[in-house]
Structure 1
């Protein structure tokens, strides 16, 4: 099966909101290059129809999850403008597929990140500010029956995201030790800190910056980078009320219709 045919299966699943079977059976084991090529086909299709790229998301930033999937690196997906919603807006459950939520720290860049062997210092210099975020992940793969090639091809299981309103200089937050708590209907359902994200969210952004530079598509000024979950993801259902707090970055909340 060609990359185009696999991409069409995933796109059709999204359009019809009918999840498809895993697509990994059509690819060699751990063929990440093909999975990213499939991802790009569908992202390019959306951009050709008016979609606007606004950033990137980093997935598989938990070392434990990497081990479970038999990989030694995270993955990335592309954020498009229509995926973002704002505080004060509700999220329509009808627009989601098998949704789960996770809280994380977003980096917003003030200049491009080009070059080889980029370091944490390069990321710090390039970051305009950091802000809290809740990412809603979703899967076009039936029952979340995914391996690494499934999720990469499916744009790293991207769905939607919301950013907090408090912006901090990266110098003014302890990224590694900032505590996160995620509540659903006022019940604490997930907690963690920056160590859950590759030891420090900076590490995941360093990985992404070098990965994108190597691909000839460096991270750019103004992009939003979702650095990875600070704790376990949780399932979402209609009428849920979500709230996340990240130490130093305040509170972020929304309701699911």
Structure 2
């Protein structure tokens, strides 16, 4: 990768396929970076294949996914920028806390151990998985209505339905159970080293209308880093929901990330 720009690894969260990052990949490549968007462990290569084989990703936990992406990073030869959305944001935080990665951007990151707020909207958004304890070992899909509440609540009905049709896939429910129980488990997989001082800079991004990871949760996550001297910043997007990486306004978010990276001297 010696002739390419700084590598960027995009990490998606639950219920979206890795190819949902394709517009970001093109945008970052045009800006001089060398982006990739790997899937989670065993994730089929296309949305269609993922829907046809939902059990492929069943029972995958946070540590499984984190180790998977750590291995990908190791194979790049150069420390990358990590950009994650939702549970991909939590994985980004975990990797950065392990000293992996040049910098991290966690967009609407799933809550880490130590975060206490649990808004009703977040509880409702998690019900498709958490509503049945047997889902711990299963993969779960979102209906169009469930996606509308959890992702597309700030969008028109038509745009939300189109995003559901285009990008949604079955995802493992285990990470949701792990995050929900994090504050009651001594060695939770949702734990992040928020005190580390020698890590790369971290940007947390929230959408103020997000139901799945409400703004108050991201703000509480930001406070967990108060004992670290490393660069940690928070940016909020007014009126944006959990779909902010894939909806019509994705470029505004992507440009904000690119601008922040330039401010950190990373190009």
TM-score w.r.t. the length of structure 2 is 0.29
Q: Which one has the bigger helix percentage?
A: 2
Tell me the TM-score normalized by structure 1: 0.30
Higher relative contact order (CA 8 A, sep 6+): 1
